[in-house]
Structure 1
Amino acid sequence: MQLSEPATSVSPPRPLSAAGRGVVASAHAAASAAGRTMLERGGNAMDAAIAMAAALGVAQPMMSGLGGDSFILWYDAATGRITSINGAGPAPAAAADDPARPLPMRGLGSASVPGAVDAMCLAYDRHASGRLSFGELLAPAIELAERGCETPHFCARFFALNEALLAADPGARQALLIDGRVPREGESLRQPDLARTLERLATRGRDDFYGAGLGARLVELSRQTGGPFRESDFDGVFAEAAAPIQVPYGDGWVLSNPPVAQGTVLLQALGILDRLNLPADDGALRAHCMIEALKHAFADRNDFLGDPRFTENPLPQLLAAPRLDRIAAAIDRSRAATALPRARWSLGSGDTTCFVAADARGNVASYITSISTPFGAGVVVPGTGVLLNNRAGRGFSPDVHSPNHLAPGKRTMSTLHVYMALDSQRRLVMAGGTAGGDGQPQWNLQILDAVLNRGLSLRQAVDQPRWELFPGSDPAHLAHPYEIRVDRRLDATLVDRLRALGHTISDKSLGMLGAAQVLGIAPSGGFVAAADPRADGAAYAVG
């Protein structure tokens, strides 16, 4: 399978599509430029991805950074092997002293141990080219933090919405505000403390970051403020390499990250849809069946999935062909299911940042990194510039019977995942991911369907209006346990048909959520990449 060449735009302010022997795409132009620089210097796709990960933590502090977590898929062109890297850190042990008490959604008590740096270092050790030092990969991020990074429209919007959160924390006030206020669109934000932390990471490495660096400062902050972090929370290794999970799809396969990532949701939904033989030109029926498939996939996540170190995840059974056959056969094409499928706990909305890179040798990295909700915990560790995640506070289920219930040292299920699609010869077709909490598997599903089934180009698939299934506003109103939030650009006839099929259409618009980044194989050879216009991103090519 090959993809269409990207559609051209008339004088775009930044390139949203690119084609070449190597490509990069991210949600911020400065980060994409960092990745392109690494490819130009002879680095491979992982070199480019690591540089983009570091730069995005500076350029998009509301989305990601050294205080977050990451998941990666790596396609090795020489072997055809795909590897998943899980970089999620555990909840601090003291946070689970009273597991019946819910964790706060913000503040130091909402944070898990950051896994992003461990993931970055593991990815560098295993998959980088070896031509560029770790310090060279972090250099663009260091320069952005030291000299300042301009605040584009997408970032300024998030800053404005979260000014009170940042002003409430002394570290965040010092690191992320300008004269006591958030940076406005077009203003440059300097982060000198973060620059020094990145320099220290570049020279002293991973163990220092979790030891005498951020780890020690975070323990001290906890001691001063009654927070949950202790020295023992930073012992051990947080990132791990594993085999990806996969499902047959069409005449190929789609792969994603295993738990604690939620790639299973995407793969289950794809496996169900693959059995329905839906007409390509009936958008409303396709959307209806996607929604019904996702209801089952989310319910299975809630019932069965958790940290593999604590619970046995029945992935072979959940993705088994007979089970997918049964679910597909039970979907009513003429009516939305209103019976509540088991647990309706949700990981909710969230924001993160995803990016992709491919090099001239054919290697591909699909990489996602996050601090969970915008600006995470709202806490910057003093003197480091590092903004902490709120993954623990947001992610664990309050249900004591859930496999995702809080326990000491446990990693919460994460919304994060990326994907790769392969053809019948197991050659790469496309790779990507998106921001958006529980919207991630839904928007990834819509993009994959658009390209693999409906023949859209990457550019068209990324630009298309989207919808999102989410829990209804009234938990007791079991007749309508779900609502559908739609992009206002979505065809009105399609929306009316969904409503006629029994779906509750929310009056809340999707807005700018879901910044997807994708790449694929171009017919002319090499790669084509597309960046989402919903964010401040860009796609660049090399060669």
Structure 2
Amino acid sequence: MLSAKAVYPASTPRYADFASRRSTVHSTNGIVACTQPLAAAAGQKILSQGGNAADAAVAVAAALNVTEPTSTGIGGDMFCLYYNASTKKIHSLNGSGRYAANASLEKIREDLGLSADDAGAIPLESALAATVPGAAAGWIDTIEKFGSGRLSLQQILTPAIELAERGFPVSEFASYFWHNGEKLLRDASPNFKEMLKHDPSAPDGVRAPNPGEILKNPSLGRTFRTLAAEGKKGFYEGRIAEEVVKVLKDLGGYLALDDLKNHAASGSQETDAISLIFRGQGVGKQGVTSDGSEGGVEVWEHPPNGQGIVALMALGILEELE
């Protein structure tokens, strides 16, 4: 093997002196970046069909729901940061779900077996921690507010639907978390067998998928088809909403059908994005930030209840420590 330094002296500007040895990716029509190649391909397909970044982002999120369901999905929340290149403005959309309207602190304490004087927290794996799934409404709101208008929701969700119905090879990353979360999946989901690999040698005929194995999720594909055909109503009312509420009720949760219906009506919330101008580590000596000052890199995040403020605080601390 020939060392790069043998080809390019360190003084040569053509020699990239960084550890990864990966060249910067350039494109004339946009770039899609995510943790899963098949999901990235879904976003690229939407761009090639005339969609914009917002359309592609929703396609990627849906495809990740299929290929990396332990990391993201329609049953969770959604936060969208969108940069409008025409207006040069950053938009923030909070698509997180509300808590059950019939819940109270006293009721939660009672169900957790805590007295009024006891400190405690809701276990993350408990049905008591579940809020209304805001992602479905968030995807639609993102497309309606920021989308190109050239593609329908059906077109945007088609790549994810095809992955779910035709099957996809499971990555090593996804397989690891599938195995790690198999017990939780079995305990929480009455239809857990639909989200595991069929294997006659397994004790009950199913197990977590191994890297490279082909997995299908037709039920999720059906959910996407319903959302595409009926919009928010198809998810927050009727069959899907009833199944969500039933599963949570059976596990001791509080969500009711009205909680889902009301969330669909109120939709995602537009918020003011927050930012920090980072000038540490010798980064960004060129450029102009939103306040007109020169130098530094302006990093944008969602305001709370999103966790982006933690990243901004960390950058601020890092800069102060220099």
TM-score (norm 1): 0.46
Distance between the aligned counterparts of 2:228 and 2:140, measured in 1? 10
Match of 1:168 in 2: 187
Distance between the aligned counterparts of 1:233 and 1:208, measured in 2? 15
Higher helix share: 2
Distance between the aligned counterparts of 1:58 and 1:189, measured in 2? 9
Distance 1:6 1:244, change over 3 A: farther
1:35 matched to 2:80: no
Match of 1:189 in 2: 215
Please report how far the alpha carbon of residue 75 of structure 1 lies from its aligned counterpart in structure 2 after TM superposition: 0.5
Q: 2:270 aligns with which of 233, 241, 255?
A: 241
Structure 2 gaps, min length 5: 1-14, 113-120, 198-204, 280-294
Aligned to 2:75, the other structure's residue is in SS state coil
Instruction: Spell out, residue by residue over 1:513-533, the C-alpha distance to the aligned partner (whole angstroms, 9 max, x if none).
Output: xxxxxxxxxxxxxxxxxxxxx
Distance 1:122 1:170, change over 3 A: closer
1:66 matched to 2:77: no
Aligned to 2:74, the other structure's residue is in SS state coil
Match of 2:90 in 1: 82
Return structure 1 stretches of 4+ with deviation > 6 angstroms: 4-10
Amino acid aligned to 1:19: H
Match of 1:204 in 2: 230
Distance between the aligned counterparts of 2:193 and 2:318, measured in 1? 49
Residues paired across the two proteins, number: 270
Taking only aligned residues, the RMSD between alpha carbons, in angstroms, comes to 2.6
Q: 2:302 aligns with which of 248, 252, 257?
A: 257
Instruction: Spell out, residue by residue over 1:413-442, the C-alpha distance to the aligned partner (whole angstroms, 9 max, x if none).
Output: xxxxxxxxxxxxxxxxxxxxxxxxxxxxxx
Q: Superposed, which structure 2 residues align to 1:75-474 within 5 Å?
A: 75-96=83-104, 97-100=106-109, 101=112, 102-178=121-197, 179-224=205-250, 226-234=252-260, 235-236=262-263, 237-250=266-279, 251-252=295-296, 253-276=298-321, 278=322
Distance 1:203 1:6, change over 3 A: farther
Look at both structures and tell me which one has the larger radius of gyration over its CA atoms: 2
Larger relative contact order, structure 1 or 2 (CA cutoff 8 Å, min sep 6): 1
Distance 1:16 1:55, change over 3 A: farther
Aligned to 1:25, the other structure's residue is in SS state coil
Instruction: Spell out, residue by residue over 1:234-277, the C-alpha distance to the aligned partner (whole angstroms, 9 max, x if none).
Output: 2132521111012233324222110101222222333344445x
Identity of aligned residues (%): 37
Please report how far the alpha carbon of residue 222 of structure 1 lies from its aligned counterpart in structure 2 after TM superposition: 4.1
Please report how far the alpha carbon of residue 204 of structure 1 lies from its aligned counterpart in structure 2 after TM superposition: 0.4
Match of 2:27 in 1: 20
Please report how far the alpha carbon of residue 223 of structure 1 lies from its aligned counterpart in structure 2 after TM superposition: 4.7
TM-score (norm 2): 0.76
Distance between the aligned counterparts of 2:57 and 2:84, measured in 1? 14
Please report how far the alpha carbon of residue 172 of structure 1 lies from its aligned counterpart in structure 2 after TM superposition: 4.5
Q: Which moved more, 1:132-141 or 1:165-174?
A: 165-174
Whether the 8 Å contact between 1:119 and 1:240 is mirrored in structure 2 is no
Please report how far the alpha carbon of residue 170 of structure 1 lies from its aligned counterpart in structure 2 after TM superposition: 4.7
Distance between the aligned counterparts of 1:225 and 1:275, measured in 2? 47
Whether the 8 Å contact between 1:173 and 1:180 is mirrored in structure 2 is no
Amino acid aligned to 2:196: L
Aligned to 1:241, the other structure's residue is in SS state strand
Distance 1:170 1:41, change over 3 A: closer
Aligned to 2:212, the other structure's residue is in SS state coil
Distance between the aligned counterparts of 2:108 and 2:136, measured in 1? 28
Distance 1:261 1:212, change over 3 A: same
Distance between the aligned counterparts of 1:69 and 1:6, measured in 2? 40
Distance 1:136 1:213, change over 3 A: same
Distance between the aligned counterparts of 1:20 and 1:116, measured in 2? 29
Please report how far the alpha carbon of residue 91 of structure 1 lies from its aligned counterpart in structure 2 after TM superposition: 2.1
Instruction: Spell out, residue by residue over 1:27-83, the C-alpha distance to the aligned partner (whole angstroms, 9 max, x if none).
Output: 111000001111111111111111001100011011111101121211000000100
Amino acid aligned to 1:134: L
Structure 1 gaps, min length 5: 279-543
Aligned to 2:25, the other structure's residue is in SS state strand
Higher strand share: 1
Distance between the aligned counterparts of 2:318 and 2:18, measured in 1? 28
Distance between the aligned counterparts of 1:261 and 1:18, measured in 2? 30
Instruction: Spell out, residue by residue over 1:440-461, the C-alpha distance to the aligned partner (whole angstroms, 9 max, x if none).
Output: xxxxxxxxxxxxxxxxxxxxxx
